Structure 1
Amino acid sequence: MKAQVIGGLLAVLVVSACGTAGQSGGGSAGDSGPSGSPSAIGTVEEGFKIGLLLPETKTARYEKFDRVYITDDIKSLCPKCEVIYNNANQDPNLQQQQVDTMLTNGVKVLILDAVDAKAIASSVKKAKDQGAVVLAYDRLAGGPIDGYTSFDNIQVGKMQGEALLEAIKAGGDAKRGPIVMINGSPTDPNAGDFKKGAHSVLDGQVTIGKEYDTPDWSPDQANTQATGAFTALGAANVVGVYSANDGMAGGIAKAMQNSGVKKGTPLTGQDAELAGIQRILLGTQTMTIYKPIKPEAQNAAQMAIALGTGQAVNGTTTVDNGTNKAIPAQIITPIVVTKDNIQDTVVKDGFWTVKEICTPAVEAACKAAGLE
């Protein structure tokens, strides 16, 4: 029965030799088998080593969800596969060292969520030169990667921008005062996509008073940037704040309160972090973006096993990372979360329970929102 399940899951991803194997986006011809498919590294029956490299621990999702889901999914597909895990703690040099160590230890499939997409490219090439395959996870890494799974990141930015614009317009003329934009890390290609998507909605519709890119997605840096912006623009004049994720939104929300920004001023977020959901209920954050991690993790596990067994993977689309073209990608649609649909999104999916959300400090807000 298990073999049937594994075969069925891999069949979704495998491209036959007479199909579009050229989209595998793998390495050079020397790294590939027939029709451009990657050479087989191992078998499901015998198992092989898979390295999982995640970027940081400040964002709650990586340790609580991504690591657990990916590891469990790999074990269900390939019981004898060994998952070797490392977290780079936002240090690109450490992540490069972790790749080297994994390659030395015989890891032949890397699931890589890069701290710095450009800096890691040399490590990706080294992996390929040593016969390994590399799957970019959540962030599109540089170098000759073989596959990619993530969300529609430009759409994430558009959704954030649309929610912010709608909330600002609910209070009057969208240009009645300036907004502040606090974007993500300049070394994360996703941050550039979020920023691009948000600007495509907001440009010409609002007045952008101050805008920052925030190293390492740091909540403390975001707090400092926001405080400086509110001082320069006049806190009472600010009509909205774009925050690229929930972690930074936490630092920004504190700055808004301490600087005297009007209560209820719209503030965006992303990742559906517990604190972000609670701020939405309390009215100090307007929205967040929920990116269902479980299907992303399932994609990663399935693609890793397919690549490890010499199959070319078929994505819902292809992407270009600047050094490799037509990389097969599995892209997932994100979801906007507001006070009105918390129950039907993060709670329904088991991402957070009502008990986790509705702590004593949030209990009254939960009841008012019908979340009990």
Structure 2
Amino acid sequence: MDRGFVQFRMIFLTFSIALLCMATACEKSHEVRGSVVPSGISKNEESKGDKVPHKKKIKIGFSMDTLEEERWLKDRDLFKEAVENLGAEVEILAANGDDALQISQAETLISQGVDLLVVVPHNAEATAAIVNKAHLAGIKVISYDRLVKNADIDLYISFDNEKVGELQAEAITSLVPKGKYVYIGGAITDNNAILLKKGVFNVLQPYIDRGDITVVYDQWTQDWLPANAFTNMQAALKANKNQIDAVIAANDATAGAVIKALKAQGLDGKIPVAGQDAELAAAQRIVEGTQTMTVYKPIKVLADAAAKIAVKMAKGEEVPAGKRVNNGKIEVPSVLLMPTAVNQSNMDETIIRDGFHSREDVYRNVGK
């Protein structure tokens, strides 16, 4: 074979092999570059277009029983402000005592894609349906101020309502250690009303056992309505021929109705009456002398704490809860805040000092 031809073939073969190697190297280089993921982005994120998902603003749903009482208007405004100060937003709906409407409104909030739902239940049992629907949508639920019964509620935040009842009874028994007592309860559908009554009777029972105190009238107030409390108090007065020594009412609105019934009999200011919630009208009655005491639950403290917890939980962060409260189904992780008894002697150092009500408003009718 011609020597020149052999050399030509050898050169051609070497050149071809070199070209093949270069092509293979290019293919491998392309494969490596295609698998590179920029720092801080997961493979899953890269597979969705190499874009980092935009963080949406946390949205809290607030399902409220009612806005027909002064205190709940305060809760609404303070909670909204606190949530927004934390960089989140809140959607608020109130059912005004309608169970079916509250469930429907909660469903609306769930369908809007809220990150967490906060519920003030009207009916402690009925609102279990709200918790179940929220959980099916992957949304956690906080029970605010009132406990939802028989549901896997994620957290309960409130004041210690049993302690509230104890403070009421302690204040009245210190003034009337013996005599005929009337108890005007709240709505039996509200677990708080049950806890309040339990606290009251924790204190009263030893007096009852000794025969010092007789509870001559004990009735729930349907839907917490003052008109129903007024009817109850009228019945209590009639049944006992006005011979009553003390009244404990489940909140200030019902206490106001009690005092209205007493006034109709010329007994206002003569019979000690306890309430709770520190409503402005109650504070005014206390300094005027027709209501003996109220229990102050700093709503701003509750609203601020609930807002912080709600936003944290919505972000998936853990929230410590030092107590457990049984709701008939589970031991609910709970945050319970402490209330304060208020009467004429400490009105200025509590309600007024905190700015809960102004001194001018509280003393408006007595000129102090």
| TM-score range normalised by the length of the shorter chain | 0.7 to 0.9
Instruction: Decide which of 234, 244, 252 is 1:227's aligned counterpart.
Output: 234
Residues 1:109 and 2:119 are matched in the alignment: no
Percent identity over the alignment?
Answer: 37
- CA–CA distance in structure 2, aligned partners of residues 90 and 222 of structure 1: 16
The higher-RCO structure (CA 8 Å, 6+ apart) is 1
Instruction: Decide which of 254, 270, 279 is 1:273's aligned counterpart.
Output: 279
Secondary structure in 1 matching 2:218: strand
Q: How does 1:67-82 map to 2 (within 5 A)?
A: 67-77=76-86, 79=87, 81-82=88-89
Amino acid across the alignment from 2:145? D
Q: How does 1:137-148 map to 2 (within 5 A)?
A: 137-142=144-149, 143-148=151-156
What is aligned with 2:62? 52
What is aligned with 1:283? 289
Q: Displacement, 1:118?
A: 0.3
What is aligned with 1:214? 221
Secondary structure in 1 matching 2:344: coil
> Any conservation in 2 of the 1:313–1:328 contact (CA below 8 Å)?
no
Residues 1:356 and 2:361 are matched in the alignment: yes
- CA–CA distance in structure 1, aligned partners of residues 161 and 96 of structure 2: 23
Amino acid across the alignment from 1:362? V
- CA–CA distance in structure 2, aligned partners of residues 347 and 257 of structure 1: 27
Amino acid across the alignment from 2:197? K
Instruction: Decide which of 335, 344, 349 is 1:344's aligned counterpart.
Output: 349
- CA–CA distance in structure 1, aligned partners of residues 54 and 318 of structure 2: 16
Q: Displacement, 1:262?
A: 6.5
Q: Deviations over 1:23-63 (max 9, x none)?
A: xxxxxxxxxxxxxxxxxxxx996312210112112320111
What is aligned with 1:317? 323
Pair 96,206 (structure 1): closer, same or farther in 2 beyond 3 Å: same
Q: Deviations over 1:229-266 (max 9, x none)?
A: 1011011x210111111001111101011124374210
The gaps in structure 2 that reach 5 residues or longer are 1-52
TM-score (norm 1): 0.80
> Any conservation in 2 of the 1:231–1:259 contact (CA below 8 Å)?
no
What is aligned with 1:120? 127
Work out the number of aligned pairs and report it: 310
- CA–CA distance in structure 1, aligned partners of residues 304 and 269 of structure 2: 41
Q: Displacement, 1:213?
A: 0.6
Secondary structure in 1 matching 2:295: strand
Amino acid across the alignment from 2:341? V
> Any conservation in 2 of the 1:227–1:259 contact (CA below 8 Å)?
no
Residues 1:240 and 2:246 are matched in the alignment: yes
Amino acid across the alignment from 1:297? A
- CA–CA distance in structure 1, aligned partners of residues 229 and 197 of structure 2: 15
Pair 346,45 (structure 1): closer, same or farther in 2 beyond 3 Å: farther
Q: Displacement, 1:189?
A: 0.3
The gaps in structure 1 that reach 5 residues or longer are 1-42, 368-372
Amino acid across the alignment from 1:187? T
Amino acid across the alignment from 2:105? Q
- CA–CA distance in structure 2, aligned partners of residues 263 and 355 of structure 1: 22
Which protein shows a greater Rg?
Answer: 2
Q: How does 1:123-272 map to 2 (within 5 A)?
A: 123-142=130-149, 143-169=151-177, 174-175=178-179, 178-203=180-205, 204=208, 205-235=212-242, 237-261=243-267, 263-272=269-278
CA RMSD of aligned residues (A): 1.6
Q: Which moved more, 1:265-274 or 1:160-169?
A: 160-169
- CA–CA distance in structure 2, aligned partners of residues 302 and 57 of structure 1: 22
> Any conservation in 2 of the 1:134–1:147 contact (CA below 8 Å)?
yes
Amino acid across the alignment from 2:98? D
Secondary structure in 1 matching 2:273: coil
What is aligned with 1:297? 303
Pair 98,303 (structure 1): closer, same or farther in 2 beyond 3 Å: same
> Any conservation in 1 of the 2:187–2:193 contact (CA below 8 Å)?
yes
- CA–CA distance in structure 1, aligned partners of residues 286 and 277 of structure 2: 13
- CA–CA distance in structure 1, aligned partners of residues 220 and 235 of structure 2: 14
Task: Give runs of ≥4 in structure 1 deviating > 4 Å.
Answer: none
Amino acid across the alignment from 1:190? N
What is aligned with 1:329? 334
Pair 262,121 (structure 1): closer, same or farther in 2 beyond 3 Å: closer
> Any conservation in 2 of the 1:152–1:332 contact (CA below 8 Å)?
yes
Q: Displacement, 1:324?
A: 2.5
Pair 44,250 (structure 1): closer, same or farther in 2 beyond 3 Å: farther
